[in-house]
Structure 1
Amino acid sequence: MEKTLDFWFEYASPYSYPAAMRVEQLAAQAGVKVRWRVFLLGAVFQQYGWKTTPNELFPAKGNYMWHDMQRICASLNMPYQRPSTFPRNGMLAARISANYAQSPWIGDFVRNVYQANFADDQDIGNSELIAQILEKLGQNSEQIIAEANSDDGKQKLKQQTQQALQQDVFGAPFMMVGNEPFWGNDRLEQAIYFAAHGKLPASVTLH
């Protein structure tokens, strides 16, 4: 039986950056397949009556997050630059990710978009940048962008976001292994271990 991990992510989510950059490699080493599941956090915030992100609603939390991101990326030797604009519009990238989740290049696409946003401080809402990423991966950017922006393409992302809400995905990154939920970049290794072994490490127990 194939061992899988559903990786729920949002392109505007800072903590999804270090997780997305590592998940596929770590999972492969453990014999686990990653299923990329993009969704829109805005829909989650609306469900709780929030008009913006918690990090803007609670400035102290936001300040901590950026400081924490710097520490995390430094500890992983991962390039990081706080985006000069936050949050950026990742709608097009999300539509592409929802519609091409099964494509062999999707992991590289996700990582390139995250790097553009959180390492290179580029505007991932710029369709020309997204096209450049697709072309770099050897894909037909014009066709893919057109399909992602079609009515069916838009609906796919809406349906996937609704699925996230139904599964009580309340933040990003969020990992699901069967019915077992794991939230946050700091739970990535634990989620992969659970997917590989069907249980938590001996030092971790559920209560």
Structure 2
Amino acid sequence: MTRRPVLEFWFDFASTYAYLSAMRIEPLAEAAGVDVRYRPFLLGPIFQAQGWNTSPFNLYPAKGRYMWRDVAREAERRGLPFRRPDPFPQNGLAATRVALSGADKPWCGAFVRAVFHAEFGEGRSIEEPSAVAGLAGSVGLDPDQTMKAASAEPNKMRLRAITEEARTKGVFGAPTFFAEDGEMFWGDDRLERALAWAAGEDA
């Protein structure tokens, strides 16, 4: 059996545009003959290194106003629900730890979509571990076991390492995509191009 190319999907649960990508990446990747590798990480430390203490969409109000309208417009075009959560950005640490603990497991995509749907589709909080446990249960996972594995020290260390890896790779926002040759694409509007590149059709 021929090995399929892989596209890395780097995302932070606080990213509105990552929501748009997460909800469509798997069927698009399947059509392109590409496998998706989920790479959850934390943008906070990367922003802090640039002197930002919150999302740039909060720091630059005009940019923020445009983003909210743009995401709402794109969600409507794609038939996705969209509701602005309060507060924004949310602390997605617990959800990110769960996603990372299952990044190489078949359930990861379903869990990622469940979190993004709750946050940006319904405007619900994903900050509380209890909320994350409930979302894990909604995709067929054992909530207690899942949260225990996610909060174990090796997984916490892994998250710190992957966030540092994101920084060293030059990631500055989410979503970001990497093909196997290291080519980087940033933004939901580059997802199709990233898949084509990964498949060798656009290199």
Q: Please classify the TM superposition score into its range, dividing by the shorter chain length.
A: over 0.9
**Aligned mates of 2:66, 2:32 — CA distance in 1:** 32
User: Normalising by the residue count of structure 2, what TM-score does the alignment of the two structures yield?
Assistant: 0.95
Matches within 5 A, 1:1-207: 1-178=3-180, 179-200=182-203
RMSD across aligned C-alpha pairs, in angstroms?
A: 1.1
Greater than 4 Å deviation, 4+ residue runs: none
Return 5+ residue gaps in structure 1 as ranges: 201-207
* SS of equivalent residue, structure 2 residue 24: helix
**Aligned mates of 1:52, 1:134 — CA distance in 2:** 27
- The answer to which of 143-152 and 102-111 deviates more is 143-152
Q: How many residues align?
A: 200
Render the CA deviation track for 1:85-115: whole Å, top value 9, x for unaligned.
2111110010111121011000000000000
**Aligned mates of 1:70, 1:137 — CA distance in 2:** 26
Contact 2:54 2:89 in 1 (8 A): no
**Aligned mates of 1:27, 1:132 — CA distance in 2:** 28
**Aligned mates of 2:87, 2:34 — CA distance in 1:** 35
Identity %: 42
| Amino acid across the alignment from 2:163 | T
- The answer to which of 131-140 and 68-77 deviates more is 131-140
User: Normalising by the residue count of structure 1, what TM-score does the alignment of the two structures yield?
Assistant: 0.93
Return 5+ residue gaps in structure 2 as ranges: none
* SS of equivalent residue, structure 2 residue 99: helix
